[in-house]
Amino acid sequence: MHESLLQYLHQMLDHPLSEDEIGLIRETFVLKKIRKHKLFLEEGAVCKLAGFIVKGALKQYSVDETGKENILNLYIENWWVGDRESFINNTPSPYFIEAFEDTEVLIISKEVYIERLQNQGFIRKLSQKLSTNQAFKLLKRVHSSKTLSAEERLSELEKTYPEFLQRFPQHIVASYLGMTKETLSRIRNNFAKNR
Amino acid sequence: MHESLLQYLHQMLDHPLSEDEIGLIRETFVLKKIRKHKLFLEEGAVCKLAGFIVKGALKQYSVDETGKENILNLYIENWWVGDRESFINNTPSPYFIEAFEDTEVLIISKEVYIERLQNQGFIRKLSQKLSTNQAFKLLKRVHSSKTLSAEERLSELEKTYPEFLQRFPQHIVASYLGMTKETLSRIRNNFAKNR
DNA sequence: CGTTTGCTTGAATTCTGTCAAAGCAGGTGG
DNA sequence: CCACCTGCTTTGACAGAATTCAAGCAAACG
């Protein structure tokens, strides 16, 4: 059950893990099942867990005064899930994270992380890489949201994360892309016509 | 002339630097002056320099087919400037970075960075912190751009970076905020009325 | 000075959002 | 096996926010 995580680590750190390190991972990460519609993180709470998704999908969102959900992130297999800022700084998160399907994550608590992993070289390296990559991706998203039309954002998503379009219903993808479900629907239909 | 950088480092790494480390910084970072309107980085080029701004201001932007500038970032004193992704991955940058005033930066080249700094503990720590903080800020920007109106984005900027509004002309700030200069102008006037 | 640069204002336009209704599965329970 | 939900998508009419285009003006610059 830790195989996908181990494989992921192997790939991210371009050198193989030692037996000790592998053992540490196996001991430290425990499987948690989250039923569809159940929360991994609640708005206002401090994110005390980091999770690696073995199976399933989750959505991260905020809720405005009118009760409307705004999807900030979607997560699927082999991704980390959690609110990094809340986790690292122990600050309350402004976001919900909710299982979108029945989901299995390998989790580690903040305490265990500090105690056992924080000082591991390979974890440091991983952590650095994650932050860096996340920053790169986010910068692109900022740029896209400023320069691209709704239509262009969709076709960008089709290139970047085609899985999302199959996996999540349109109204979720629409919100992730920063548009309404109606707009997304119209765009897709025009799209089909123009070919 | 390295004082502001040293002070910055002292503050970012909540422990004082050793004499050796201070010496290393002084030897390694060299001052470069960039005239107003001159480029620090050109679109299509690999960002081979990282710079710490001692004095002045710069803008990072892309140019679309019609020749319109889109401001992605603004930089002022005590900020790092450069395209991190291009610098780290040696990939061509899609952005220009241009001095907006006569500017002085303490620079380090990629080669020197690898040779002398990359393996310093305090630099590793700093680098981790920068990536992490950048990711946090960017996530907020993504969220703002999705959930807030032009007016709300402005008032958020007034809280977060009030300097920007004094330092940069409105059409630059407008582009940074993802709106046109006309919209920004109108918002500010309505703003004034409603009090 | 004349020229550039930045800011404002108005009018028309475009894009996207809102609201409302209807259609279309897929799943559930009778 | 059918009727009925429920969740998701589509469509239309309309409203609203922001952009575009154009003009005018003031201040700064060389």
User: pLDDT tens-digit profile of B154-191?
Assistant: 999 999 999 999 999 999 999 999 999 999 999 998 76
Q: How many alpha carbons lie under 13 Å from residue A103 in its C-beta half-sphere? A: 28
Q: What is the mean pLDDT of residues A143-155?
A: 96
Strands A103-109 and B30-34: unpaired
What is the per-residue pLDDT for B195? 39
Q: Is the pLDDT of residue A75 over 60?
A: yes
Q: What is the mean pLDDT of residues A148-166?
A: 95
Across all residues in chain B, what is the average pLDDT? 94
Pick out chain B residues at pLDDT < 70. 191-195
What is the per-residue pLDDT for A1? 84
Q: Which two tokens stand for residue B40?
A: 């620090």
Taking contacts as CB-CB distances below 8 angstroms, the residues of chain B near A142 are 72, 138, 141-142, 145
Nearest Cα neighbor of B112 from B123, B99, B103 is B123
Note the pLDDT tens digit of each residue in A56-65.
999 999 999 8
Across all residues in chain A, what is the average pLDDT? 95
Q: Which nucleotide across the nucleic acid strands is nearest to B183, CA versus C1'?
A: D18
Note the pLDDT tens digit of each residue in A83-110.
999 999 999 999 999 999 999 999 999 9
Query: Is residue A195 very low, low, confident or very high in pLDDT (cuts 50, 70, 90)?
Result: very low
> Three-class SS string for B35-53?
CCCCEEECCCCECCEEEEE
CB-nearest partner of A132 from B131, B136, B139? B131
User: Are B165 and B157 spatial neighbours (Cβ–Cβ below 8 Å)?
Assistant: yes
∠ CA B66-B72-B78 to the nearest 5 degrees? 145
Rounded (10°) CA dihedral B38, B40, B43, B44: 130
What is the per-residue pLDDT for A46? 98
By CA distance, what is B95's nearest residue in A? A143
Q: Is the pLDDT of residue A25 over 70?
A: yes
User: Are B37 and B150 spatial neighbours (Cβ–Cβ below 8 Å)?
Assistant: no
Residue A171, CB, less than 7 Å from strand D?
yes
Phi, psi of B72, rounded to the nearest 5 degrees: -95, -35
Contact A136 B64 (CB under 8 A): no
Q: Is the pLDDT of residue A192 over 60?
A: no
Residues 6+ positions from B168 with CB-CB distance below 8 Å: B57, B59, B74, B100, B176
Distance between the alpha carbon (CA) of A146 and the C1' atom of D29, Å = 32
CB-nearest partner of B138 from A127, A142, A147? A142
Rounded (10°) CA dihedral A86, A87, A90, A92: 30
Q: Which two tokens stand for residue A16?
A: 């193989």
User: Are B129 and B12 spatial neighbours (Cβ–Cβ below 8 Å)?
Assistant: yes
Q: What is the mean pLDDT of residues A145-149?
A: 96
pTM as predicted: 0.94
